[in-house]
Amino acid sequence: MAQWTNFDELASYKTLQSVKKVDIRKEMAGENGAERVKKYSVPMAEGLTYNYAAKAVDDEVLKDLCDLAKEAQLSEKFEELYNGAVINTGEKRLVLHQLCRGQLGKDVVVDGVNKREFYVEQQKRVADFANKVHSGEITNEKGEKFTQVVQIGIGGSDLGPRAMYIALENWAKKNNTLKMQARFISNVDPDDAAAVLAQTDASHALFILVSKSGTTLETLTNNAFVQDALKKDGLDPAKHMVAVTSATSPLAKSTDFLTAFYMDDYIGGRYSTSSAVGCTVLSLAFGPDVFARFLDGAAAADKAATEKDPMKNAAMLDALIGVYERNFLGYDTTAVLPYSQALSRFPAHLQQLDMESNGKSVNRFGEPISYVTGPVIFGEPGTNGQHSFYQLLHQGKTLIPLQFIGFKNSQLGVDVDIEGSTSQQKLCANVAAQIVAFACGKDDENPNKNFEGGRPSSIIIGEQLTPETLGALLAHFENKVMFQGFVWNINSFDQEGVQLGKVLAKRVLAHNTEGALTEYSKLLNI
């Protein structure tokens, strides 16, 4: 069995403290830089490539990181995870989101239930339901087809599925696979639900209520909001709603829904896009075949993450370089910069995935640790970000590592040639220029125009954003976060940090407060 040891107790930790730092500006200049771009690149699943030439690493640092991967037993811990070990120590649970995409190891059986078969069964149930909706076998009360789908959820029940839907919406339109337009309600702010409902033809809409426990306050509040609106329109909510929940939740057998699809406690919210949480809305929106292609891409990335050699395992190498930047170079933030408008909400999903998973100050046994863990994640699509926060990235005093994502071809194939190049070529030219500008900088006698350079970055490059490449991207980052959690010896699969505010909010609503909480309640007229 793998040994779980605090990061700073590993011999590799001490080695990496003393390794010679790499001057990115020097390394990326001239022909040396050209050779690095060719050399420091790893193939990924679905034709993607991870290039880390502009990171502050060289062969010596990479050797030490490979030693760290071996000493921290990253491959062995991943193997234990997908074979059904209790990796989520805080909640004493297995971690099985990969099983929604495929089976990497042995059968995982819990209480007599083969979990892979359970997840596949739910996917088949969703596919059958979606096909019947699309064919008109399942209709509204007047026998008319449903044309829209609205997901009601928060956190992982919203961010991942929403980001995936936005990423494939225009692709699906082009490829004639957009079956139903999807919208999302997440914020308990009534303006969110009201705005979505104002844009929705409720009589032809299916609503998906997503809550694993069936008790999430924000989600149930929005559910009541939607049900009230449907009733006011003379519609029966039970004929317009389905649930995605656990088989033991109060929603599972409720007559308030057409049917319920099941998830379980072994899939955390931020890892749930591959489960019924994403399967239901994406299968209704694009068709089950498109969702299956998405799962194939994720499964391929999971398979690639089993490679034991970090130099051939993009997710593991990405994770190790991130750990090196966080713990030894002192960088506390990472910017995710997709040069694809379709990925406009992908950074928001990664924000939750990374920060909710690895924002921890105790190890997986609940003991305090003395080293820093997960970075702050933020981002926006290029080139918009270039005209926003790139000023700080280029010339600010805070050095922020950058994670670019780019594609050689646009999703829609619609372009125009202006001044000798197409829009897609201009987009790609911008990302290439930014990588070199961040790394190499520019000397100028005018201090306002001087760029110090030395800003590290990596890029994931693909041919085109498709269901397969999107699935591979999602799984890459999930596995990156997982590997980093293994290095830091923390539990990346619970989220106690979101609970305290919920508890206090319930006290406020019950008027059971004291001290500052009472005064803030008065200020907000609660």
Q: Which of 266, 317, 298, 269 lies closest to 487, judged by CA?
A: 317
> Annotated catalytic residue: which of 20, 92, 142, 387?
387
Q: How far apart are CA 376 and CA 392, in angstroms?
A: 15
* Residue 2 tokens, joined: 């793998």
Answer whether 225's CB lies under 8 Å from 190's CB: yes
Q: What are phi and psi of 131, to 5 degrees?
A: -60, -40
Element (H, E) at 405: strand 402-407
> Is residue 70 annotated as a catalytic residue, yes or no?
no
> Annotated catalytic residue: which of 144, 502, 506, 519?
502
CA 412 to chain centre: 24
Answer whether 260's CB lies under 8 Å from 245's CB: yes
Answer whether 355's CB lies under 8 Å from 492's CB: no
Answer whether 211's CB lies under 8 Å from 252's CB: no
Element (H, E) at 337: strand 333-339
The radius of gyration computed from the CA coordinates of the chain, to the nearest angstrom, equals 24
- β-strands 148-152, 205-210 pairing: parallel
Answer whether 176's CB lies under 8 Å from 166's CB: no
Q: Which of 99, 468, 118 lies closest to 300, judged by CA?
A: 468
> Is residue 502 annotated as a catalytic residue, yes or no?
yes
DSSP code per residue over 422-478: EHHHHHHHHHHHHHHHHHH-B--SSGGG-B-----EEEEEES---HHHHHHHHHHHH
> Is residue 356 annotated as a catalytic residue, yes or no?
yes
Distances (CA, A) of 254 to 103, 228, 240, 259, 322: 32, 17, 14, 9, 45
> Annotated catalytic residue: which of 27, 356, 380, 478?
356
Would you give the DSSP letter of residue 93?
Answer: B
- Cα-Cα-Cα-Cα dihedral sign, residues 422, 423, 425, 429: positive
* Residue 427 tokens, joined: 């987009």
Q: What angle do CA 162, 167, 171 make, to 5 degrees?
A: 130
Q: What angle do CA 477, 362, 496 make, to 5 degrees?
A: 70
Burial of 397 (0-12, 13-18, 19+ CB in 10 A): exposed
Residues annotated as part of the active site:
356, 387, 502
